[in-house]
Structure 1
Amino acid sequence: MTQMALVIDLNVCVGCQACVTSCKEWNTSGESGSLADFNPYDADPSGTFFNRVQSFEAGSFPDTEMIHFPKSCLHCEDPPCVPVCPTGASYKRKEDGLVLVDFDRCIGCKYCAWACPYGARELDEARKEMTKCTLCVDRIHDEHLSERDRKPACVLACPTSARLFGDIHDPQSVVSQAIRERGGYQLMPEWGTRPANHYLPRVPTTAAGCGSDGCSCKSAGSTTDEVSEASGSPDSQLESQLERGELHLASIATRI
């Protein structure tokens, strides 16, 4: 069975919130309907978000580093939120493995939110309906879009290409290869939910210089040519990345 999912590279996520804002923009004007915002610019803002980035400092002074941890629905292969729903509003699709919510059936009872061990569901206070990440289901299957653009809004918006999207059950997909080659892991696997989304671990930043043992370029499986390109001019580096299809549209805009 196909299982679409995200693979997030914690080594290159910079916590810029581009994924958060692009997710909000796309979904609040799409099939998910208007997502509530209460006092968004106040000292105590609240609202409905499908995707959030949690940032925290790790280590002891002066050897500290900031870690940015994006979190959304993990589209579990055995989702505990589905069987507890009394109306069948929460369901898992067979064709792509996505866990979705039928808003017409949702009564806002919050059973699914209580069952989710990841805190990935949010009740829209204005609509009194449970909401969550859909992996932009209304976008990834839109045949009017080019193949390159049939990806979640957060993936296209990421300026560092920290978010990968694909079928984790396909051994040749970019996400499967990243999990296999980079030691991708699931969040809290002890719960037995089999999360589809995976994270790529951070690499220690103690080494100095590109190409060293601690360099993220080398740890990501880059070839000698790729490392050489990384040390070249910005224009040549951008051109080579474009040819390999490693940059998304929004990422290109931020580099020109």
Structure 2
Amino acid sequence: MTQMALVIDLNVCVGCHACVTSCKEWNTSGEAGSLADFRPYDADPSGTFFNRVQTYEAGEFPLTDTIHFPKSCLHCEDPPCVPVCPTGASYKRKEDGLVLVDYDRCIGCKYCAWACPYGAREIDEQRKEMTKCTLCADRIYNEALPERDRKPACVLACPTSARLFGDIHDPESVVSKAIRERGGYQLMPEWGTRPANHYLPRQKVSACGGEACSCKTSPEGDEVASVETQVERGELHLASIATRV
């Protein structure tokens, strides 16, 4: 069974929000649009987005790190949002594994949003319908577009190529190779939803490599653990902080 998904490289995401704006632009004018914006320039802005980038500071001075964490619908292989929908508006498509919403059936009850452990769904307050990332389903199969452009808008817009797109069930796909070779992981696997989207873990790299380099050692003289090791030790909870709304 095909399962299309994103693989996001946290090493090269710079938090520029190009993926956010390109997603908003494409989907507002596509099958999902229009996506409401209320008070976009006020102190308390509100709007509907399929994709967001959350930024955090981790660690303690002087060994701090800035983490940019893009997050959207993870297109789970066992999505908890689908069985709770009373009208069948939320469904998982068999041919490509995408989790989608039939807007004609959606009544805006928010059951699916409550069931999603990742906070990946947003109600459009103007239309009173649930919206979410579709992985640009109306674009990736559009034969009117050149083949190189048949990718999600966020993938095409990323200036650092931090976002990869493909079939994670195909062992020869670019996403499967990245997951296999670079230790790609799922977000909060303990929920048993089997999210299709994966993340490539950040790697700690020394800036200068000298013996006195503070990038390599802690104040106590110990080697600085990688972000992945810090997560395992319970020193840094990426999965937890990345799902806060």
TM-score above 0.5: yes
Could you list the runs of 4 or more consecutive aligned residues of structure 1 that deviate by over 2 angstroms after TM superposition? Answer: 205-209
SS at match of 1:126: coil
Write out aligned runs for 1:136-155 (5 A): 136-155=136-155
Task: Give, in whole Å, the separation in 1 of the partners of 2:5 and 2:161.
Answer: 15
Shift of residue 50, structure 1, vs aligned partner: 0.1
Task: Give, in whole Å, the separation in 2 of the partners of 1:192 and 1:207.
Answer: 38
Shift of residue 59, structure 1, vs aligned partner: 1.1
Paired residue for 1:77?
77
1:179 aligns with 2:179: yes
Please list the CA deviations of residues 206-236 of structure 1 after superposition, one character each: whole Å capped at 9, or x if unmatched: 2537xxxx9xxxxxxxxxxxxxxxxxxxxxx
Paired residue for 2:6?
6
Paired residue for 1:37?
37
Task: Give, in whole Å, the separation in 2 of the partners of 1:38 and 1:142.
Answer: 31
Task: Give, in whole Å, the separation in 1 of the partners of 2:19 and 2:208.
Answer: 29
Paired residue for 2:98?
98
Task: Give, in whole Å, the separation in 2 of the partners of 1:46 and 1:17.
Answer: 17
Task: Give, in whole Å, the separation in 2 of the partners of 1:78 and 1:100.
Answer: 13
Shift of residue 63, structure 1, vs aligned partner: 1.6
Paired residue for 1:130?
130
Paired residue for 1:112?
112
Aligned residues: 210
TM-score (norm 1): 0.81
Task: Give, in whole Å, the separation in 2 of the partners of 1:97 and 1:28.
Answer: 23
1:197 aligns with 2:202: no
Task: Give, in whole Å, the separation in 1 of the partners of 2:4 and 2:143.
Answer: 17
Task: Give, in whole Å, the separation in 2 of the partners of 1:20 and 1:135.
Answer: 13
* Percent identity of paired positions between Structure 1 and Structure 2: 88
Task: Give, in whole Å, the separation in 2 of the partners of 1:208 and 1:147.
Answer: 42
Paired residue for 2:228?
none
Task: Give, in whole Å, the separation in 2 of the partners of 1:71 and 1:160.
Answer: 17
Please list the CA deviations of residues 29-78 of structure 1 after superposition, one character each: whole Å capped at 9, or x if unmatched: 00002000001111110100000000000111122111000000000000
Shift of residue 129, structure 1, vs aligned partner: 0.1
Gaps of at least 5 residues in structure 2 are: 210-215, 217-245
Task: Give, in whole Å, the separation in 2 of the partners of 1:198 and 1:207.
Answer: 27
2:146 maps to a residue whose letter is S
Q: Pick the structure with more helix per residue.
A: 1
Paired residue for 1:18?
18
Paired residue for 1:245?
none
TM-score (norm 2): 0.84
Task: Give, in whole Å, the separation in 1 of the partners of 2:25 and 2:146.
Answer: 20
Shift of residue 101, structure 1, vs aligned partner: 0.1
Gaps of at least 5 residues in structure 1 are: 215-256
1:197 maps to a residue whose letter is N
Please list the CA deviations of residues 166-203 of structure 1 after superposition, one character each: whole Å capped at 9, or x if unmatched: 00000000000000000000000000000000000000
1:202 maps to a residue whose letter is R
Shift of residue 141, structure 1, vs aligned partner: 0.5
